[in-house]
Amino acid sequence: MSHAPFVPTPEPVVRKMLELAEVKPGEVVYDLGAGDGRIVIMAARDFGARAVAVEIRRDLCEVIRKKVEDLGLQDRVKVLNMDMFKVDLSDADVITLFLLTSTNNMLRPKFEKELRNGVRIVSHEFSIEGWRPAKVIDFHEAATSHRIYLYRFRRQRRRHQ
Protein backbone atom coordinates (compact mmCIF):
# COMPACT_ATOMS: atom_id res chain seq x y z
CA MET A 1 0.00 0.00 0.00
CA SER A 2 1.29 3.49 -0.87
CA HIS A 3 1.66 5.82 2.08
CA ALA A 4 2.77 8.96 0.16
CA PRO A 5 2.66 10.20 -3.44
CA PHE A 6 5.81 10.54 -5.54
CA VAL A 7 7.17 14.08 -5.20
CA PRO A 8 10.95 14.38 -5.53
CA THR A 9 13.10 16.35 -3.09
CA PRO A 10 15.07 19.05 -4.97
CA GLU A 11 18.75 18.06 -5.31
CA PRO A 12 20.15 20.94 -3.16
CA VAL A 13 17.77 19.88 -0.38
CA VAL A 14 18.94 16.26 -0.75
CA ARG A 15 22.55 17.41 -0.30
CA LYS A 16 21.62 19.45 2.77
CA MET A 17 19.79 16.45 4.29
CA LEU A 18 22.83 14.19 3.81
CA GLU A 19 25.17 16.87 5.19
CA LEU A 20 22.93 17.38 8.19
CA ALA A 21 22.99 13.62 8.85
CA GLU A 22 26.82 13.68 8.50
CA VAL A 23 26.82 10.65 6.23
CA LYS A 24 30.26 9.03 6.21
CA PRO A 25 31.89 6.66 3.70
CA GLY A 26 30.78 3.07 4.22
CA GLU A 27 27.71 3.96 6.28
CA VAL A 28 24.39 2.36 5.41
CA VAL A 29 21.73 4.85 4.30
CA TYR A 30 18.10 3.82 3.71
CA ASP A 31 15.68 6.03 1.81
CA LEU A 32 12.20 4.83 2.72
CA GLY A 33 10.03 5.62 -0.29
CA ALA A 34 12.94 6.28 -2.63
CA GLY A 35 11.05 7.76 -5.59
CA ASP A 36 13.46 8.21 -8.50
CA GLY A 37 16.45 7.34 -6.31
CA ARG A 38 18.05 10.76 -6.12
CA ILE A 39 18.81 10.47 -2.39
CA VAL A 40 20.42 7.02 -2.54
CA ILE A 41 22.40 7.99 -5.63
CA MET A 42 23.80 11.14 -4.04
CA ALA A 43 24.53 9.28 -0.80
CA ALA A 44 26.53 6.63 -2.68
CA ARG A 45 28.18 8.81 -5.32
CA ASP A 46 29.04 11.92 -3.29
CA PHE A 47 29.22 10.65 0.29
CA GLY A 48 30.60 7.13 -0.29
CA ALA A 49 27.69 5.48 1.51
CA ARG A 50 26.17 2.05 0.93
CA ALA A 51 22.64 3.03 0.10
CA VAL A 52 19.37 1.14 0.04
CA ALA A 53 16.37 2.41 -1.93
CA VAL A 54 13.06 1.03 -0.66
CA GLU A 55 10.26 1.83 -3.08
CA ILE A 56 6.83 0.25 -3.49
CA ARG A 57 6.31 1.33 -7.11
CA ARG A 58 7.86 -1.07 -9.60
CA ASP A 59 8.13 1.59 -12.34
CA LEU A 60 10.14 3.87 -10.03
CA CYS A 61 12.40 0.96 -9.04
CA GLU A 62 13.14 0.44 -12.73
CA VAL A 63 14.05 4.14 -13.03
CA ILE A 64 16.40 3.85 -10.04
CA ARG A 65 18.02 0.63 -11.34
CA LYS A 66 18.66 2.23 -14.74
CA LYS A 67 20.28 5.33 -13.17
CA VAL A 68 22.36 3.20 -10.83
CA GLU A 69 23.58 1.07 -13.74
CA ASP A 70 24.37 4.11 -15.91
CA LEU A 71 26.44 5.57 -13.06
CA GLY A 72 28.15 2.25 -12.29
CA LEU A 73 26.96 2.32 -8.69
CA GLN A 74 25.58 -1.25 -8.56
CA ASP A 75 28.01 -2.28 -5.82
CA ARG A 76 26.93 0.66 -3.63
CA VAL A 77 23.18 0.96 -4.18
CA LYS A 78 20.63 -1.76 -3.48
CA VAL A 79 17.09 -1.32 -4.83
CA LEU A 80 14.29 -3.09 -2.97
CA ASN A 81 10.87 -3.08 -4.62
CA MET A 82 8.86 -3.58 -1.46
CA ASP A 83 6.76 -2.04 1.29
CA MET A 84 8.98 -0.02 3.62
CA PHE A 85 7.04 -1.35 6.62
CA LYS A 86 8.47 -4.81 5.84
CA VAL A 87 12.15 -3.94 5.36
CA ASP A 88 14.65 -4.85 8.09
CA LEU A 89 16.35 -1.64 9.27
CA SER A 90 18.68 -3.20 11.84
CA ASP A 91 21.87 -2.35 9.87
CA ALA A 92 20.89 1.29 9.17
CA ASP A 93 23.19 4.17 10.12
CA VAL A 94 21.05 6.85 8.49
CA ILE A 95 17.43 6.93 7.33
CA THR A 96 16.02 9.55 4.99
CA LEU A 97 12.32 10.35 4.68
CA PHE A 98 10.06 12.53 2.56
CA LEU A 99 6.66 11.07 3.33
CA LEU A 100 3.87 12.54 5.46
CA THR A 101 3.61 13.18 9.20
CA SER A 102 0.98 10.43 9.47
CA THR A 103 3.31 7.96 7.70
CA ASN A 104 6.28 8.98 9.86
CA ASN A 105 4.12 8.37 12.91
CA MET A 106 3.19 4.91 11.61
CA LEU A 107 6.91 4.15 11.14
CA ARG A 108 7.81 5.26 14.67
CA PRO A 109 7.10 1.90 16.42
CA LYS A 110 9.12 0.10 13.74
CA PHE A 111 12.03 2.48 14.32
CA GLU A 112 11.75 2.02 18.08
CA LYS A 113 11.89 -1.76 17.64
CA GLU A 114 14.63 -2.08 15.03
CA LEU A 115 17.03 0.85 15.11
CA ARG A 116 20.38 0.85 16.86
CA ASN A 117 21.32 3.69 19.17
CA GLY A 118 22.83 6.63 17.31
CA VAL A 119 20.99 6.13 14.01
CA ARG A 120 20.32 9.51 12.38
CA ILE A 121 16.98 10.12 10.72
CA VAL A 122 16.50 13.10 8.44
CA SER A 123 13.03 14.02 7.29
CA HIS A 124 12.21 16.53 4.61
CA GLU A 125 9.22 18.69 5.60
CA PHE A 126 7.46 16.29 7.99
CA SER A 127 8.22 15.70 11.66
CA ILE A 128 7.98 12.51 13.70
CA GLU A 129 5.49 13.42 16.37
CA GLY A 130 6.52 12.60 19.92
CA TRP A 131 10.25 12.64 19.14
CA ARG A 132 12.45 15.61 19.97
CA PRO A 133 14.56 16.64 16.96
CA ALA A 134 18.28 17.25 17.45
CA LYS A 135 18.01 20.01 14.83
CA VAL A 136 15.40 21.67 12.63
CA ILE A 137 16.55 23.87 9.78
CA ASP A 138 14.79 25.91 7.14
CA PHE A 139 16.70 25.65 3.90
CA HIS A 140 15.94 28.11 1.11
CA GLU A 141 16.08 26.81 -2.44
CA ALA A 142 14.63 28.42 -5.59
CA ALA A 143 12.48 30.84 -3.56
CA THR A 144 11.01 27.98 -1.55
CA SER A 145 11.72 27.19 2.06
CA HIS A 146 12.21 23.54 2.99
CA ARG A 147 12.15 22.37 6.58
CA ILE A 148 14.52 19.54 7.45
CA TYR A 149 14.29 17.63 10.74
CA LEU A 150 17.24 15.70 12.15
CA TYR A 151 16.67 13.05 14.81
CA ARG A 152 19.28 10.98 16.64
CA PHE A 153 17.72 7.76 17.78
CA ARG A 154 18.21 6.76 21.42
CA ARG A 155 16.53 3.72 22.85
CA GLN A 156 14.55 4.58 25.99
CA ARG A 157 15.81 2.80 29.10
CA ARG A 158 13.13 0.70 30.72
CA ARG A 159 12.42 1.86 34.27
CA HIS A 160 12.68 -0.78 37.03
CA GLN A 161 9.26 -1.33 38.50
Ligand X SMILES: C[S@@+](CC[C@H](N)C(=O)[O-])C[C@H]1O[C@@H](n2cnc3c(N)ncnc32)[C@H](O)[C@@H]1O
Residues that bind ligand X (CB under 6 A): 1-4, 6-9, 31, 33-35, 38-39, 54-57, 60, 83-85, 98-99, 124
Q: Which is nearer to ligand X, 33 or 115 (CB)?
A: 33
CA 56 to chain centre: 14
Q: Residue number with the shortest CB distance to ligand X?
A: 33
Instruction: Give the C-alpha separation, 6 to 8, whole Å.
Output: 6
**Least Cβ distance, residue 159 to ligand X (angstroms):** 34
DSSP string, 86-112: GS--TT-SEEEE-S-HHHHHHHHHHHH
Q: Which is nearer to ligand X, 6 or 48 (CB)?
A: 6
Exposure on the CB side of residue 49, measured as CA atoms within 13 A: 29
**Least Cβ distance, residue 87 to ligand X (angstroms):** 8
**Least Cβ distance, residue 65 to ligand X (angstroms):** 14
Instruction: Give the C-alpha separation, 19 to 23, whole Å.
Output: 7
**Least Cβ distance, residue 84 to ligand X (angstroms):** 4
